[in-house]
Amino acid sequence: MNVISYGGGVQSTALMVLAARHEIPYRTLLFANVGDDSEDPATLEYVARPYAAANDLDLHVLHRTLRAGGRETLWGRMMKQGSRALPIPIRMSNGAPGTRGCTRDFKISVTGRWLKANGATPGNPATVGVGISLDEVTRAANRRIEPYEQLAYPLLDFKLRRIDCQQIIADAGLPIPPKSACWFCPLKSLGGWKEMRRDRPGLFLRACCLEETLNENRQWGGKEDAVFLTRTGRPLLEAVEAAQEELPFDVGCDSGWCMT
């Protein structure tokens, strides 16, 4: 079984095009959707599904399901009244990110369930193509390997960089995908938050609401220290207003599951 771990970004979209051109031996793509309320809307609106269908590729959109039935989204877990869950790498008062459970629960486990249900085992692992390009090769070392999978890096095999991936996508007649990540990810830079406030103010206000809710839930749970969506130790709106210059984008979610 050969599958592409599709994240909706530049690198994994380039893998999709290479698969469509039969340059790599993959016909199945797995996109673990952490929730229509959690994935960046621009990623969900991208044209991957029509392109995949037109080229006889199977693009499966996977969701986290509960044993009791129904789906769970990352946003829903955090916004549930009285929830103490902090699955995202929320920033503590010193700016350091907290424990990240979002990738494990909403990406790796969801994809793993599909792989195992379709025959992947430790004795017969699936080959999972991961979209990591040559200019970010260090990310490959951070990608955890599960017993039921073996990893492949076609972009590294072809010595392709991000700019090469963009050209592959453009040659296919597709627009360049936006960065793929949860729209409220705390690993976003101040520059990224400023851009969101300017271009997507409604989404920015929802992020402010999330930050407030997480802190309210912590107070109800007896936690006195506040948490933040930026490394500044300030509430999001205050941090963005205080920012004086655009800062480079933080590539912090480096597992290979996000931002590809």
Q: What is the DSSP letter of 125?
A: P
* Helix, strand, coil percent content, the chain, rounded in steps of 5: 40, 10, 50
In this structure, the chain runs to a length of 260
CA separation for the pair 182, 36 (Å, rounded):
10
For residue 177, which phi and psi values (nearest 5 degrees)? -65, 155
In the 8-state DSSP scheme, what is residue 64?
Answer: -
Pick from 183, 175, 182: which is nearest to 48 by CA? 175
- pTM of the complete model: 0.88
Q: Give the count of beta carbons closer than 10 Å to the beta carbon of residue 74.
A: 25
Long-range contacts from 117-125, C-beta under 8 angstroms, 24+ separation? 118/1, 119/1, 120/1, 120/148, 120/149, 121/148, 122/147, 122/148, 125/149, 125/150
As beta bridge partners, residue 211 has none
Q: Which domains does the chain have, with CATH numbers?
A: 2-242 (3.40.50)
pLDDT digit of tens for each residue in the chain (260 aa)? Answer: 999 999 999 999 999 999 999 999 999 999 999 999 999 999 999 989 999 999 999 999 999 999 888 999 999 999 987 777 889 999 988 888 888 889 999 999 999 999 999 999 999 999 999 999 999 888 887 777 899 999 999 999 999 999 999 999 999 999 999 988 999 999 999 999 999 999 999 999 999 999 999 999 888 767 778 999 999 999 999 999 998 554 444 444 545 556 56
Retrieve residue 141's tokens: 């070392």
From first CA to last CA, the distance across the chain in angstroms is 21
Q: Residue 239 belongs to what H/E stretch?
A: helix 236-242
- Cα separation of 188 and 247, whole Å? 10
Closest CA to 137 of 256, 27, 223, 42: 256
CA 150 to mean position of chain CA atoms? 20
Residue 175 φ/ψ, nearest 5 degrees = -70, 155
- Are the CB atoms for 180 and 187 separated by under 8 Å? no
